């Protein structure tokens, strides 16, 4: 049974009638550009072929109910309630509804199923938000654009869930296209579709899910964001986007060491995203690989968001013949990505399993992802 049918069947079982429709949205992998989004910088993510499906029907009252395949409990809020709290994963879809409540015509019933790995840095949360926002936009006749729906997903995550994330994940989930990455200028929200061109070289994007779960609603992510805000303020700019490589000597002289290293990551990462566009456009695979490795080193040493499992994943991928590899996502766990020949995927999985076992780590999950389209109605 496919996931659209799963969502239909789950809705019928949970609520006793058939849903009006099923909407889906992809998780995302970020090729390069980490923690640059909330600094108004550049990111280059793509939608992946793992999606979240939301089966939804409107109710006649103002109650919103959600249930999922992995949690049969029914979570509910009223659109007239104050901001929802304490609803576990259900804060993501119900947070979207709460943010959109001024567009609401009624409450709804919703059943959610997904094959996006949770806690792997592949943005399972944005996939939930984007599928929910797409469904409500249509059912409520809200008439909002994809960019506006992405902003609603971000507001739900920031204001309701309490995770200080930027706009990248939701924009990627809403705007993704097949066989391409999406360059997002997080200052203007301008979108540029970028052909990856990997398949013509028989290359795939491998994901090495370390099985180390992370959460953006806690500690490390927020402290990094605060460091960036402090650095921008001390350097007299509204965001680190306004700075370039030529500003690094001044930053080093004005900032304490830790804040400087946080700022250096953002400035150099923005430049790496722009350099990656050139490498992709000109087909310079060696340059692309070098940029991915430099990005990982910057996140490990300057931003300090990698963990031993992620470092080992990158090292193992390179030893297996990847052209480049880096951790992806917010850090402190999750996944690394590697660009590698499709015939080496099984060897990579085996090598990672052996390396992780030798280090005493939990066995990783290794699989390839295909750049796939953004949020859509399935049924």
Catalytic residues: 169
What is the number of alpha carbons within 13 Å of residue 352 lying toward its C-beta?
32
- Taking each helix axis from N to C end, the angle separating 308-319 and 285-301, rounded to the nearest 10 degrees, works out to 160
State how far the Cα of 38 lies from the Cα of 242, in Å rounded to an integer. 13
Is the CB of residue 165 less than 8 Å from the CB of residue 38?
yes
Q: Whole-angstrom Cα distance, residue 145 to residue 168?
A: 16
Tokens at 316, concatenated:
């193992």
Return the structure tokens found at 84.
């929802």
How many other CB atoms are there within 10 angstroms of residue 201's CB atom?
A: 13
Q: What is the DSSP string of 227-274?
A: HHHHHHHHTT-SSGGG--GGGHHHHHHHS-HHHHHHHHHHHHHHHHHH
Q: Helix (H, G, I), strand (E, B), or coil: what is residue 176? A: coil
Neighbours of 83 (CB within 10 A): 11
Which residues face 365 on adjacent strands?
209
3-state secondary structure of 17: coil
Residue 223's SS3 state is helix
């Amino acid at each position: 049974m496919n996931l659209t049918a799963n969502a239909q069947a789950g809705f019928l079982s949970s609520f006793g009638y058939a849903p009006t429709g099923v909407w889906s949205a992809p998780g995302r992998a970020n090729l390069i550009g980490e923690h640059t989004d909330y600094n108004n910088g550049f990111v280059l993510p793509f939608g992946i072929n793992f999606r979240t499906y939301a089966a939804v029907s409107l109710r006649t009252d103002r109650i919103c109910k959600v249930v999922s395949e992995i949690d049969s409990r029914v979570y509910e809020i009223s659109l007239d309630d104050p901001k929802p709290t304490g609803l576990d994963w259900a804060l993501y879809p119900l947070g979207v509804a709460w943010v959109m409540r001024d567009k609401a015509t009624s409450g709804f019933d919703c059943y959610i199923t997904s094959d996006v790995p949770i806690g792997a840095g592949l943005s399972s949360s944005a996939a939930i938000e984007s599928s929910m926002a797409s469904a409500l936009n249509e059912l409520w006749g809200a008439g909002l654009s994809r960019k506006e729906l992405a902003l609603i997903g971000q507001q739900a995550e920031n204001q309701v869930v309490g995770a200080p994330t930027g706009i990248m994940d939701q924009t990627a989930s809403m705007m993704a296209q097949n066989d391409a990455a999406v360059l997002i200028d997080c200052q203007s929200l301008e979108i540029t579709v970028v052909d990856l061109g990997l398949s013509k070289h028989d290359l795939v994007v491998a994901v090495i899910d370390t099985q180390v779960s992370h959460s953006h609603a806690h500690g490390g992510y927020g402290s990094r964001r605060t460091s960036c805000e402090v650095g921008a303020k001390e350097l007299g700019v509204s965001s680190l986007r306004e700075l370039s490589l030529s500003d690094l000597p001044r930053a080093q002289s004005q900032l304490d060491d830790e804040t400087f290293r946080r700022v250096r990551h953002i400035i150099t990462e923005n430049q790496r995203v722009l350099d990656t566009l050139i490498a992709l456009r000109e087909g310079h695979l060696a340059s692309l690989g070098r940029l991915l490795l430099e990005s990982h080193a910057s996140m490990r040493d300057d931003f300090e968001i990698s963990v031993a499992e992620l470092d080992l994943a990158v090292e193992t991928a390179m030893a297996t013949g990847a052209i480049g590899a880096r951790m992806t996502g917010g850090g402190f766990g999750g996944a690394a990505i590697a660009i590698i020949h499709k015939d080496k995927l099984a060897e990579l999985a085996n090598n990672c399993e052996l390396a992780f076992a030798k280090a005493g780590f939990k066995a990783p999950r290794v699989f390839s992802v295909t750049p796939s389209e953004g949020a859509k109605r399935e049924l």
